[in-house]
Amino acid sequence: MGLLEGKTALIFGLANKNSIAWGVAQAFKREGATIGISYAGEILKRRVEPLAESIGCDFVEECDVSKDEDIESVVAKAKKRFGKIDILVHSIGFANRDELRGPFYNTSREGFHLAMDISVYSFVALARAFQPLMNPGGAILTMTYAGSVKVTPNYNVMGIAKAALEASTRYLAYDFGKQNVRVNAISAGPIRTLAAAGVGGFKTMYKAFEEMAPLHENITTEDVGNAAIFLSSDLSARTTGEVFYVDSGYNIMGVPGMGIE
Ligand code: NAD
Ligand code: 0WE
């Protein structure tokens, strides 16, 4: 029997087959969950629908998380279709491309607000909107990156957004504890997704990551999917408000090993 048998999961942030959200969707499917998917905009529909279909998912809804009315509408549709849900996955982040290069102090007021709105507030807004639909024993998940706690050059305003996202995870965990719903974040190492495409120096960072990490391997969306199963299933029943690293151990290192051991 699958670890998520009888559970319903809604996954936000699917763009294409490289998305972390897709790794999560496939892993959840494997463990027997009923899945609903949400994506950002009309142009992604053509990509997302065949993927959803391939895992037998026919709840595929557009939702731009910067619009309250889009969030309300997807909640209404989920309520009509599923009644209650068990798992909510937020796999969304965005900053203007020109904020992700050069000195952090050049961050514009508008760029700061946009990154915080799409990458952080959307998590709070989705958690609130789905609160009445969440079954006891359920789980809420978001995706973060270690640029929240240590400097990653060029990650800039996204690092600040991820720090706020991790703090939001703790505050939401406190709120949702009363209804026995857990809230956790997965901090993944760098993965070549759409959100990493065109990032200057990504290739170099990828290589350095592989060298520095104790396990000397880069991260896949499948790895994140497997961690998401744990954090959404009853296996992690007493874990909430945590940032769970899926990074081949990279974050524990202070100095690179350089093969001197
Ligand atoms: P991705 O591009 O596949 O996913 C990002 C998603 O955010 C896309 O589906 C995009 O449509 C969605 N999005 C952007 N603006 C939106 C809006 N207004 N409304 C609704 N959706 C919107 O890339 P990914 O790497 O899978 O990113 C998923 C999450 O994982 C992000 O939070 C990202 O910060 C995080 N993350 C990524 C990495 C990495 O190296 N790729 C590492 C750690 C954490
Ligand atoms: O969270 C992310 C991706 C964040 C991201 C990426 C983009 C590129 C395209 C947010 N918004 C946009 N907007 C775009 O227009 N990661 C963890 C991957 C990532 O992105 C970086 C990284 C890493 C790692 C950007 C700079 C430096 C390192």
Q: At what angle do helices 157-177 and 122-130 cross, to 10 degrees?
A: 20
CB contact set of 211 (below 8 Å; sequence gap of 6+): 256
Rounded CA gap, 179 and 175, in Å? 8
In the residue annotation, 155 being an active-site residue is answered as: yes
Residue-level length of the chain = 261
Q: Pick from 17, 10, 27: which is nearest to 134 by CA? A: 10
| Residues 124-152 as b or e (16 or more Cβ within 10 Å = b) | bbbbebbbebbbeebbbbbbbbbbbeeeb
Whose alpha carbon is nearest atom 10 of ligand 1?
13
100 CB burial (10 A radius; 0-12, 13-18, 19+): middle
pLDDT single digits (tens) 56-81:
999 999 999 999 999 999 999 999 99
Please check the confidence at residue 97 and state whether its pLDDT lies above 80: yes
Say what the pTM is: 0.98
Q: Which of 92, 158, 160, 244 to mutate to test the pocket of ligand 1 (most atoms within 8 A of CB)?
A: 92
Reported as type and span, the H/E element at residue 129 is: helix 122-130
pLDDT in tens, 190-247: 999 988 887 878 889 899 999 999 999 999 999 999 999 999 999 999 999 999 999 9
The DSSP bridge partners found for residue 245 are 187
Query: Six-digit token pair at 135?
Result: 């079954």
Q: Report CA(156)–ligand 2 centroid distance (Å).
A: 9
39 is catalytic: no
For the record, the structure tokens of 62 come out as 């557009």
User: Is the CB of 189 within 6 Å of ligand 2?
Assistant: no
Residue minimizing CA distance to atom 19 of ligand 1: 64
Distance 155 CA to ligand 1 centre (A): 14
Domain ranges in the chain? 8-247
Fold of 8-247: Rossmann fold (3.40.50)
The pLDDT of 155-184, averaged and rounded, is 98
- Per-residue pLDDT band for 105 (boundaries 50, 70, 90) equals very high
34 beta partners: 8
